[in-house]
């Protein structure tokens, strides 16, 4: 099981005790990988805990889809350098892809580096997105 950014895996079902049992039983849930910034309740179940960057440590794009009906993105820049051993999620997953084979790595990254993630948001890219969006009825 992969768990990213604090998505709580223990309290998402009606029977927390049964979920706890399943997560402890390797025949039912062999491996739990958690990528997070803090020791969350999900991180306590992790077989492998990978430290993600904080929002203030990386260039990123944040959508507003959780807080309103006006579609927009906010581009953020790092306010501080990465601390400790934290790595960007893109770097973590590209390293996993690399270990799954060169073909998987190439398909995942499409030749991009983690630093070029936001740079794909060019006017050409935005025109392509606009053509794909649904129209209002």
Runs of H (alpha helix) within the chain: 16-24, 89-99, 102-109, 123-132
In the prediction, which pLDDT does 95 show? 93
- 46 shares its domain with 79: no
- 21 shares its domain with 70: no
The pLDDT tens digits for 90-117 are 899 999 999 999 999 999 888 877 665 5
- 42 shares its domain with 72: no
Q: Work out whether the CA dihedral 64, 112, 94, 50 comes out positive or negative.
A: negative
Residue 34 lies in domain = 2-51
Q: Answer yes or no: is pLDDT of 132 > 80.
A: no
- 17 shares its domain with 68: no
Spatial separation of the C-alpha atoms in residues 104 and 125, rounded to whole Å: 24
- 32 shares its domain with 89: no
- 97 shares its domain with 77: yes
User: Is the residue at 98 inside a domain?
Assistant: yes
Q: Answer yes or no: is pLDDT of 136 > 60.
A: no
- 26 shares its domain with 88: no
The pLDDT tens digits for 27-78 are 999 999 999 988 888 888 999 999 999 988 988 777 766 666 666 777 788 8
Mean pLDDT for 107-129 is: 69
Inter-CA distances, 27 with 34, 46, 125, Å: 19, 15, 45
User: Is the residue at 137 inside a domain?
Assistant: no
- 31 shares its domain with 67: no
Q: What is the DSSP letter of 87?
A: B
Q: For residue 135, what pLDDT band results from cuts at 50, 70 and 90?
A: low
In the prediction, which pLDDT does 58 show? 86
User: Is the residue at 105 inside a domain?
Assistant: yes
Q: Enumerate residues 6+ apart whose C-beta is below 8 A from 66.
A: none
- 35 shares its domain with 13: yes
HSE, CB side, 13 Å, CA atoms: give it for residue 47: 11
Spatial separation of the C-alpha atoms in residues 128 and 74, rounded to whole Å: 19
pTM for the complete prediction? Answer: 0.71
Contacts 24+ apart (CB under 8 A), 113-121: 114/88, 114/90, 115/59, 117/59, 117/90, 118/59, 118/60, 118/61, 118/75, 121/61, 121/75
- 65 shares its domain with 11: no
Domain count, the chain: 2
- 39 shares its domain with 98: no
């Amino acid at each position: 099981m992969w768990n990213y950014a604090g998505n709580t895996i223990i309290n998402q079902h009606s029977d927390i005790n049964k979920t706890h049992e399943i997560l402890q039983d390797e025949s039912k849930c062999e491996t739990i990988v958690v990528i997070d910034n803090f020791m969350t309740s999900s991180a306590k179940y992790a077989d492998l805990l990978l430290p993600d960057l904080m929002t203030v440590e990386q260039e990123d794009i944040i959508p507003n889809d959780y807080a309103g009906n006006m579609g927009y993105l906010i581009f953020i820049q790092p306010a501080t350098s990465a601390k400790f051993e934290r790595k960007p999620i893109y770097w973590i997953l590209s390293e996993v892809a690399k270990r799954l084979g060169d073909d998987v790595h190439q398909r995942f990254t499409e030749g991009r580096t983690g630093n070029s993630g936001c740079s794909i948001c060019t006017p050409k890219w935005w025109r392509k997105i606009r053509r794909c969006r649904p129209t209002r009825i």
